[in-house]
Amino acid sequence: MTCTPTRPSGAAPRRRPRWRAALAAASAATLLAACGGGDDAAGSSSSGGSEGGGGALQDVTFLNILPLESLTFTPELVAKSCGYFEDHGLNVTFETTQGSAPAIQTVLAGGALITRVGDMETMLAAGERDAPLVNVGQINKTGTIRFVSAKSDPLQSPQDIEGRLMGTPSEGGTSEIILKLVAATAGIAPDDVQTQVVGVAPGVFDLVTSGRIGGYIVSLDTSVALAAQQPDAVVYNPSDAVRSGGQVYVTSQDQADDPDKQEQLRNYLAAVKEAVQFVAQDQAGGYAETKKCLADYDIPTLKDEAVANAALDQYVESWTAAGDDQIARTVPEQWQAVYDEMSGSGFVPKGLDPAEWYTNDYAPGS
């Protein structure tokens, strides 16, 4: 495999990634391990760091709340497999958790530096439960969750949620919260929204066509694949009704106050921004170089070029929606708007200051 990204304009020159040295000196099997794949970080070291590019890499754990094999995690996977994390002195390991709640708890306990969860869950944790959680940067500026239903009983507006049993991938996570928030815009009380955990298996749409559920909630790339493969599928974008639904990077207050961890956070977010810029620049070429960076991950969406490109187009739009200078940064006005929606619908108390729950001090451009 060859990963040959072009650096974003204005970005600092890259060191030669270690996997490129391995390309010249090692076997193909060794290269496969060095250029990413699975949940095990390439070049990881049991001794707490590994040498590369002139210094020891610092070990950092990122908790992904969904299976890693998704275009949702393109910024992380590209930053890992094509050298951006390593450029910034980090050896990043991915660990999958069963949803947002355990990821948040693990970060709060100091078991991982960082995770990526919904803006709504972050507000619930910090505003409703007073958890010492800090949003250190926002990656998705628009929601990337979609509601899927069938043409025989389509969900096309918030009003259509009433009386409908909706499938969710997990209990109490971003999917369920945004469903209830969208329903609230139609005057439907959160307690009246009916949900059932159905997971994320490919066959869930059969539950819709058989009438067992009235729809379910999926990631952006899954919705694009369904729209292409299922003529009867109807896809609704919750962002048509609410500002909430973006994704933010969070850590614990203790780690955000630790100077060593602060530097790791800065390096992590800088690498993510460079990866996003690389993917955005690669859009004109049909994401050919991006797909090379993702090749060692078994991402189902990549098996259909048209579906993959359509999904990546929407992700790029979300990552860059506030402008290139705001990539991986939290936009104060948007953060406030999310709080207004959450507090206005009774999810968090009114009268709080959401500015206390985020910082851009470690985000690119600070």
User: Domains of the chain (ranges plus CATH)?
Assistant: 18-142+245-357 (3.40.190.10), 145-240 (3.40.190.10)
* 356: phi then psi, degrees, rounded to nearest 5: -75, -10
Number of CB atoms found within 10 A of residue 89's CB? 20
Please, which residues have CB within 8 angstroms of residue 49's CB and are 6 or more apart in sequence? 56, 57, 58, 59, 91
Per-residue model confidence (pLDDT) at position 228: 92
Rounded to whole angstroms, the Cα distance separating 120 from 64 reads: 17
What is the structure's pLDDT at 230?
94
- CB pairs under 8 A, 24+ apart, for 151-154? 151/232, 151/233, 151/234, 152/209, 152/232, 153/214, 154/234
pLDDT confidence of residue 147: 97
Structure token digits, residue 141: 């500026």
Of residues 278, 292, 280, 272, the one with CA closest to residue 362: 272
* Low-confidence stretches of the chain (pLDDT beneath 70): 1-54, 202
Q: What is the largest CA-CA distance in the chain?
A: 64
pLDDT for res 203: 84
pTM: 0.82
Q: Dihedrals φ, ψ of 353, to 5°? A: -110, 100
Alpha-carbon distance 267 to 14, whole Å? Answer: 14
